[in-house]
Structure 1
């Protein structure tokens, strides 16, 4: 699945946004899995770096504005609620000052969570470096007035031309942008007709438009609520499909950090531990044995009786062999 995210969407994670960083985390997991290919024109990286500080400065300004003290008329001061409010206000001011300091320190060290998550995405993305010919196409696009793009600005035109050139013919594009240069004046949740027609004509495929990353996830991955759950499912799938001892140990290492599995997951793990020879043959290895013993102790009540009996037999056999 081909995905493009416009610069303004990345920058929104530093500011007031309806999406939170969990969306970025989920995307990073899916990129690692290979389900999604994120196309990243170098123009987007440059725009992001140019505008990051301004977005952060504006967000920090709005945060500091929360320090303004409310004014109370004199007639309020004889009521007990006034003293309670003042006490809560002092606690609020103390916590807010602490928050501002921590945020300011992280900004200086470039260690904001948004920095970490977006850097991870950029590292996993497929970078597009525009050449002179592509830039000429973008300039022509701007000069004749074709979208996307603002007067005198090449950025959006370069990004669009990059996508037209590099995304394979016949493959759909999923485009996330909260920018009037992309969306229709008739329907702000739809792409401009000109861009739809151009994409369909040139790439013989569809282009789907979203204003927010959460809209993309809602449509295509509605069951994914948290990235951690997705990572757990991927680790289970890795164990299920293990084709050698090394991949078994790798999957077990990932699964050992999870304390909770639902009923379906517990039964799947139990079944594969018995049926996959690349797991069962090394069942008595310390890590595999420890994982399945813990699974049985903590989730045995969710596992089918027949599987429980077989797992218990495997565990007893390992313990017996260890005593010999």
Structure 2
């Protein structure tokens, strides 16, 4: 079961087509933590419909804002005599051409849903398939709106449907994190906090805590502070598997995952891996295996200046074929050693 239960409102998804401090790497990180079962993301057909219904409008708004922004081509008349004006005019012509090219490309890719944000949203929905919205749930959402209960606006039903779906789908006892930018889930009294009515309702009906986030980035900073890039999710998981490997096959699987991530490993990562290589028998006893040996030797070379000489000698003794193989050959067993 995932550690964190998350709902991302439609407006937060659409923000990736506008001007936002969130970047597309946040979506890549989200997909990675979903696939590693660290986050359970709740989506629905209502959310997907809202997204595609409003996508083109949001794209047009952002393109219009981008078109109207920029450096002015007009300059005070007295500046025209400055020697820099020729370079300024050339730079403005180049800027205008680049902007027009980018706008044209954006429109073309938008038509075929080929924008990076389009592809990542599709990948998110693949990782977190949408739940169905039935008549019973719509009836509950309508009743909620007629009663005037949050979230949502009195002339729309979308947020009420989202909330009733969350009450239906999220398991009892689970805390819920909502990412939303437009204030429909927000307290009128305390900016950035969830509406008190919803907090109380979630506690009473689901026996959990409700937390509101305005963007994905602060959510990741709070709950996954070591994850800066999507690759960090794979890296941290593979390091954990290796450090805690309880049998030889698990060691080989973790090594295979880490081999493609060597360039992304920091010294802190390497320190944990090297320590495990000396302390975990399931790594040490197969230190002569080609994949294990080559991986550890690549780390020793990469971080040569940071490893103290005594520790380096111990590592080389383990991850050098001849010395380790001598110890293994001295033992007669069938299959893996019984550790």
* C-alpha contact 1:142 1:157 (8 A) present in aligned 2: yes
2:191 counterpart residue number: 188
Q: Deviations over 1:206-232 (max 9, x none)?
A: 111122222322332334333333432
Distance 1:108 1:319 in 2: 62
Distance 1:3 1:214 in 2: 14
1:76 counterpart residue number: 79
1:151 counterpart residue number: 154
1:232 counterpart residue number: 235
- List runs of 5+ in structure 2 lacking aligned partners: 326-339
Structure 1 residues 148 and 98 mapped into 2: Cα distance closer, same or farther (>3 Å)? same
Structure 1 residues 161 and 171 mapped into 2: Cα distance closer, same or farther (>3 Å)? same
- List runs of 5+ in structure 1 lacking aligned partners: none
Distance 1:180 1:44 in 2: 17
What value does the CA root-mean-square deviation take over the aligned residues?
2.5
Structure 1 residues 279 and 110 mapped into 2: Cα distance closer, same or farther (>3 Å)? farther
1:58 aligns with 2:49: no
SS in 2 for 1:85: helix
Equivalent pairs counted in the alignment come to 321
2:328 counterpart residue number: none
Distance 2:220 2:11 in 1: 18
Structure 1 residues 224 and 184 mapped into 2: Cα distance closer, same or farther (>3 Å)? same
Distance 1:214 1:38 in 2: 16
Q: How far did 1:37 drift?
A: 1.1
Q: How far did 1:43 drift?
A: 1.2
* C-alpha contact 2:73 2:92 (8 A) present in aligned 1: no
Q: How far did 1:186 drift?
A: 2.0
* C-alpha contact 1:267 1:304 (8 A) present in aligned 2: no
Q: How far did 1:118 drift?
A: 2.1
TM-score by length of 1: 0.88
Greater Cα offset, 45-54 or 296-305: 296-305
Q: How far did 1:179 drift?
A: 2.2
Structure 1 residues 122 and 244 mapped into 2: Cα distance closer, same or farther (>3 Å)? farther
Distance 2:106 2:212 in 1: 33
Q: Deviations over 1:84-126 (max 9, x none)?
A: 2112212322332343344334323322221222222222226
Q: Deviations over 1:129-179 (max 9, x none)?
A: 222211111111112222112233221111101111221222111111112
Distance 2:248 2:59 in 1: 47
Distance 1:204 1:192 in 2: 16
1:129 to 111, 117, 132: 132
Structure 1 residues 317 and 68 mapped into 2: Cα distance closer, same or farther (>3 Å)? closer
1:9 aligns with 2:12: yes
1:271 counterpart residue number: 275
Structure 1 residues 319 and 100 mapped into 2: Cα distance closer, same or farther (>3 Å)? farther
Greater Cα offset, 197-206 or 251-260: 251-260
Distance 1:278 1:140 in 2: 59
Q: How far did 1:273 drift?
A: 2.6
2:99 counterpart residue number: 96
